[in-house]
Chains A and B, each alone.
Chain A
Amino acid sequence: MSELLDLNLVEASKALKNKKITSLELTNAYLKSINDTSLLGAYLEIVEDKAISMAKESDKKLIDGTARPLEGIPIGIKDMFCTKDIKTTASSKILENFIPTYESTVTQNLWNDGAVILGKLSCDEFAMGSSNETAAKGNVINPWLKNKKMSPGGSSGGSAAAVAARSALAATGTDTGGSIRQPAAFCGITGLKPTYGRCSRWGIVAFSSSLDQAGPLTRTVSDAALMLNSMAGYDQKDSTSANLKMPDLMDYLDKGIKGKKIGIPKEYTQDGISEDIVKFYEKSIDWLKDEGAEIIPVSLPHTKYALPAYYIIAPAEASSNLARYDGVRYGARQEASSLDEMYELTRGNGFGDEVKRRIMIGTYVLSSGYYDAYYLKAQKVRRLIKEDFENVYKKVDYILTPSTPTTSFELGKKQDPLTMYLNDIFTVPASLAGLPGVSLPVGLDKSGLPIGIQLIANSYDEPGLISIARVLEMSAGFDFIADGAAK
């Protein structure tokens, strides 16, 4: 069993195609892992029968020579993606019985390429959170230092925990302000947020539509490349989908970084960042230099204002998007004698505290008399943040930053919403600018928790991002496995 779990996605895919293993064996190994690691709470829904029938279907294609790029690979899906006939709750009580009648574009792309679904993964409610603690069914536990009950990060906490715990070979996530990269950093895995528009948003539960973007959480950079190859693509059903063909990312794994210019923004090493992270950030800079990159200090002067701008824009869009939960068309309803009272009770009862806070903030900043001072102001600052990046990309090819200011923290320790928001301080700027970013593990801190480093590329340069990330990955040689992972 263990040998099967030891294979990363690219290795498993090769073993499947060379008929060394079958998808049924691999899928069964992962179903057993899910069971063995169930205390982590990563899965909200396990679809064993469907997984087995998809695996058998894949095995047929592997034998008759019609295997597709992800043929027979068992993966987990963040519960933000609508999956036809499989419960999709966005970790919210208001959607606890919602069974979509259609499939999201991204997941359909994965099934079209032969992937096997294991189940749906927990996340923060409507992807609003950075610790997975806002999930209606309770938090997920990080498989690292499992006895201490650390946060897996969020919002894609279930996805990151499952990949780190080896209960999914890879997983999908969504990233609005850091929801793929921050949990990937906390769980010692690779998390890639593509350029806004690369992956269709169609069928993904909407949080903040100008920021939401799907991406893969995987063990390695190569695995991320293979997953993203399948997930990305133009979709007429998403009006912001990019009508650009992405080259095969697997062709960019070994391009190296000779002569590439890496920008080191001075604004990302401020007070409050942990010493161990600074140490590994400096090591990462040296590694890239040793591999032939040119290191250039740069400045992104509006970095400090990214988080405040984000906490106006994202709640504003959320308050508008979440207006659809009206107890009429789908989702839970609280009975009441009048329509307005029904709305208020349904929403008051169905949403958790963080979601309510964000709806309230969003409604306030969009309300008459405050719109210009808050919402319009934040949109103007967003432009300045985007221009900061545009200016820097005239001088450098990529930007290197820490992924998070600290490593994972104990569950239940951060009660104040604002302290929680600071987790995303290094991931939010690239989100506001729509840029692709990847977090990958480069080492462990003193307590044995993974440290993530982030690379940010210019729009639509996922191929280059993969090349650089791969170099950093090889230099770091991170080969630790979480103590809470399936054996």
Chain B
Amino acid sequence: MSNKDTIVDAPTVNKIARLSRLDIPEVNKENLTNDLNNILGFVAQLDEVDTSNVEPLASVTGHKLPLRNDDVNDGNIEDLVLKNAPEKSSGFFVVPKVIE
């Protein structure tokens, strides 16, 4: 992560866009690639920090995630769950046909 100028090239940007499920118009790709390289170049400063023997910190709370009993405490709200769906039918979400 130290090469400052081109960390991501056009094929890499295409690959990340694909992984992110984002359609990026061809005309925007050059600017986007530049922006990403600037940002990734900036964050590469972290290389200067010695982090050997440092544990990663994922949560600042310091407490263990609480557990609850595996009881049903909700439900029967099918209409509410589906209310904002762009397309629904007979109590289901509808998606384009998937053929494997």
Contact of A348 with B23 in the complex, beta carbons under 8 Å = yes
Residues on the A chain within 8 Å of B84, using CB: 97-99, 101, 329-331
Residues on the A chain within 8 Å of B23, using CB: 344-345, 347-349
**Cross-chain contact of B57 among A307, A342, A383 (Cβ < 8 A):** A383
Interface of A, secondary structure class, is helix
Contact with B along A350-387 (1 / 0, CB 8 A): 01010011011101100100100110111111111010
Interface of B, secondary structure class, is loop
Please report the number of residue pairs spanning A and B whose Cβ atoms sit closer than 8 angstroms. Answer: 171
Interface flag for B10 (CB, 8 Å): no
Interface flag for A150 (CB, 8 Å): no
Contact of A240 with B59 in the complex, beta carbons under 8 Å = yes
Contact with A along B54-75 (1 / 0, CB 8 A): 1111111101011010000000
Contact with B along A101-119 (1 / 0, CB 8 A): 1100000000000000000
Alpha-carbon distance A377/B46, docked complex (angstroms) = 7
Residues on the A chain within 8 Å of B58, using CB: 210, 379
Chain A proximity of B28: nearest CB distance (Å): 8
Residue of B at shortest CB range from A310?
Answer: B43
Q: How many residues on B have C-beta within 8 angstroms of the other chain's C-beta atoms?
A: 53
Interface flag for B27 (CB, 8 Å): no
Contact of A383 with B54 in the complex, beta carbons under 8 Å = yes
Interface flag for A309 (CB, 8 Å): yes
Interface flag for A305 (CB, 8 Å): yes
Given known contacts A380-B55, A383-B54, A331 and B86 CB-to-CB distance under 8 angstroms: yes
Alpha-carbon distance A453/B55, docked complex (angstroms) = 33
Contact with B along A320-347 (1 / 0, CB 8 A): 0001001111111101111111111101
Given known contacts A329-B93, A339-B96, A340-B21, A239 and B65 CB-to-CB distance under 8 angstroms: yes
**Cross-chain contact of B96 among A338, A357, A417 (Cβ < 8 A):** A338
**Cross-chain contact of B16 among A210, A307, A360 (Cβ < 8 A):** A360
Interface flag for A42 (CB, 8 Å): no
Chain B proximity of A477: nearest CB distance (Å): 35
Interface flag for A35 (CB, 8 Å): no
Residues on the B chain within 8 Å of A359, using CB: 20, 22
Scan residues 67-110 of chain A and give those whose CB is less than 8 A from a CB of chain B: 97-99, 101-102
Scan residues 30-79 of chain B and give those whose CB is less than 8 A from a CB of chain A: 32, 35-36, 38-40, 42-49, 51, 54-61, 63, 65-66, 68, 77
Chain A proximity of B99: nearest CB distance (Å): 8
Contact of A417 with B46 in the complex, beta carbons under 8 Å = no
Contact with B along A281-316 (1 / 0, CB 8 A): 000000000000000000000101101110110000
Contact of B21 with A360 in the complex, beta carbons under 8 Å = no
Residue of B at shortest CB range from A416?
Answer: B38
**Cross-chain contact of A101 among B59, B60, B83 (Cβ < 8 A):** B83
Contact of A380 with B43 in the complex, beta carbons under 8 Å = no
Alpha-carbon distance A361/B12, docked complex (angstroms) = 12
Contact of B56 with A386 in the complex, beta carbons under 8 Å = no
Alpha-carbon distance A213/B12, docked complex (angstroms) = 34
Residues on the B chain within 8 Å of A240, using CB: 59, 61, 65
Contact of A357 with B57 in the complex, beta carbons under 8 Å = no
Alpha-carbon distance A162/B54, docked complex (angstroms) = 43
Contact of A364 with B93 in the complex, beta carbons under 8 Å = no
Interface flag for A127 (CB, 8 Å): no
Contact of B46 with A384 in the complex, beta carbons under 8 Å = no
Chain A proximity of B87: nearest CB distance (Å): 7
A-B contacts, 15 listed (Cβ < 8 Å): A210-B60, A239-B66, A328-B86, A330-B85, A331-B84, A333-B87, A345-B23, A349-B23, A360-B36, A364-B8, A364-B40, A374-B43, A380-B51, A384-B54, A434-B60
Binding site for A on B (CB under 8 A): 1, 8, 12-13, 16-17, 19-25, 28, 32, 35-36, 38-40, 42-49, 51, 54-61, 63, 65-66, 68, 77, 80, 83-87, 93, 95-98
